[in-house]
Amino acid sequence: MADTGAPLWGGRFDAALHPAIHEFTGSLHFDRRMVRHDLIACLAHARMLRERRILSENEASAILVGLSEILREIENGTLAVVGDEEDVHSWIERTLAERIGDDAKRLHTGRSRNDQAIIALRLYVRERLEDILSGVAGLQRVLLETAAEHRETFLPGYTHLQRGQPVSLAHHLLAHVAALSQDVERLQSAHAAAGTSPLGAGALAGSSFPLDPERSTALLGLDATFTNSMHAVADRDYVLDAAYACAVLMVHVSRWADEVVLWATKEFGFIRLDDSISQGSSLMPQKKNPEAAELLRGKSARTIGNVTGLLALLKGLPLTYNSDFQEDKEPLFDSLDTADWSAAAAIAIARGLHYRTDVMAAALEGGMLTATELADHLVRQGVPFRTAHEQSGLAVRAAEDEGVELWELSMDSLRAVCPSVAEGVLDELRPAQAVASHDSPGGPAPVRVAEQQAAAESHLTALESWLEGRSPAPIYAAHAEDGLLDDTIPAGEPG
């Protein structure tokens, strides 16, 4: 039986590692969440070694059986990743050696811990991005369902946090859906970037064994194989891409959450928070606080900081591998976790919002929100826009002096400052008519909102189909043929 306490690199050294250094350099406490992904990659590597006859049938079979048993126990929760190993890769080799003996040592043939760690991380990143994308799809679904109910619910649109022009609530919510659609593209791009297999790159210079990296790639269901072994080991762009995509997603969620906080105030009053998403004060009994939405704002800062930290970590590293890379995982894991949990929280918040349409309608008054429509009307009568803008401003002043809305001015008062206005202009200045008139592409007119909803629905349906189409790596099916694994085992949560 192999020495289960030895590190993967111990032959060169006479003295044992100092306990403080062992604890300082160890990563098992955080990289053990990649154990399943590492085991899947090990299975692919071992099968490739068997197919290339680098390992004998007996050696490879022993390894494949042992790895399959460990993976099955990890996936059903009967085996925990605990021990004093420096990392999850050492834990796997020790556990395998305890079960099959010295044949476990042959698994590392043609492989370095460098490409081993990278493939595990890439597989993990792809799985977690799929989790996040599922959450984004859920949030989009809630917003789309709500928008469908409010195509003709009108409220002020804002610039500079000042009332600007009337829009529909559906149009407003679809703006957030559009931002999330861009997040989907970024997250899927990051998923694709993580889909290059480094297996076969070794420590930095490939291998003298007749490896088949393309076969390993195919077994893992990845999109591409590395083209340069040094770059494969040194590349962490996919880490940056994933962290950045999470950060931008969190910025968008934060902006939506900030609106929830604002709209729930008495000053706005556009929404009422369901008790299920509200929290109270330990001192003030009347308080009903949107704390979850506030936390969404706060958590966005973590993901922004993680991107900055990762960029700083990578900026000065020489080719190829450096132990600094160990520090990429905790900020990345934090960003992935934060985005995943935040999407779930955002869905709950979105479902717990009750829109006060009466308050929104009341907010359309007093702000002269259709002054732009008056200017546009004058332009259609032949007045140059700058002149029309000035005359519309004079009409606003007249309405304020009389204490009425623009559409409530008498025609005599209106023509005194806007001599070119035509009959029927006052109806054009009512908020509902103003919204309906803004039927340029992407605008708030109900017909355009319907187009936006259809486009967003199509985009979401494509995402949902993409997520449903994700399946366990082909390695499962390959080993199922050997009776080693059940190819119906779904990818579970990381350990």
Distance CA 477, CA 308 (A): 40
Angle at the Cα of 295 (from 293 to 297), degrees rounded to 5? Answer: 75
* Catalytic residue from among 281, 410, 458, 471: 281
Beta bridge partners of 157: 165
DSSP 83: S
Angle at the Cα of 434 (from 428 to 439), degrees rounded to 5? Answer: 120
Torsion, Cα of 180, 183, 188, 189 (10° steps): 150
How do beta strands 154-159 and 353-355 pair? Answer: unpaired
* Catalytic residue from among 27, 68, 134, 160: 160
Distance CA 136, CA 122 (A): 21
DSSP run (H or E) holding 165 = strand 162-168
Per the CB < 8 A criterion, the answer to whether 124 and 132 are in contact is no
Beta bridge partners of 156: 166
136's CB contacts (< 8 A; 6+ apart) are: 180, 183, 184, 187, 249, 343, 463
Give the count of alpha carbons within 13 A of 219, CB side only.
25
> Among this protein's residues, is 479 annotated catalytic?
no
DSSP 332: H
Torsion, Cα of 445, 447, 451, 454 (10° steps): 110
Distance CA 430, CA 408 (A): 9
The closest alpha carbon to 225, from 212, 241, 237, 213, belongs to 213
> Among this protein's residues, is 29 annotated catalytic?
no
The residues annotated with a catalytic role in the active site are 160, 281
